[in-house]
Amino acid sequence: MEPIAAIFIAHGLIFGGFCGFVAGEKNRDQFGWGVLGFFFGIVALISLVAVPSLQVKPESATEGSGSDQLTGSDEGNVAAEPKSVGYITDDGKRWVCSCGASNGYKPDKPIQNCINCRTNRDHALAV
């Protein structure tokens, strides 16, 4: 085997394996991203880092679909689901959104959104 061919194959295997690993961490197709990493190397890796992670919704939120549903982490479909009431913690330093995320509480800051679902603090605490 030519030395240059061995270098290209090693390059493809390294980037393919790493892209597959990163894709798995982001709940994306490991095999597909691995193939893209094999052929396109650093370009596929940069593209994979740029796309958002997919989050698995719990069974109770899918309303009878019977399977896990994947959604993009930066989609704005939060208002479609009914929310429970958010609250301020006992120490007064954090507030918990209705989605369950814990956020820093700064009463003097006029606009503050949840780090997870981007719901406005005042709306989450008033619901």
The predicted structure's pLDDT at residue 46? 94
Q: Is the full-model pTM beyond 0.75? A: no
Place of tokens 């995320």: 101
Q: What is the strand order of the sheet 94-96 is part of?
A: 87-88, 94-96, 102-104
The predicted structure's pLDDT at residue 119? 74
pLDDT in tens, 100-122: 777 776 767 655 777 677 777 66
How far apart are the C-alpha atoms of 86 and 98, rounded to whole Å? 4
**Tokens standing for 40?**
């396109």
Give the mean pLDDT of 1-14.
92
pLDDT category at 37 given cuts 50, 70, 90 is: very high
Q: Is residue 33 within 8 Å of 50, Cβ to Cβ?
A: no
pLDDT in tens, 46-89: 999 999 888 765 554 444 444 445 555 444 444 444 445 666 66
The predicted structure's pLDDT at residue 48? 92
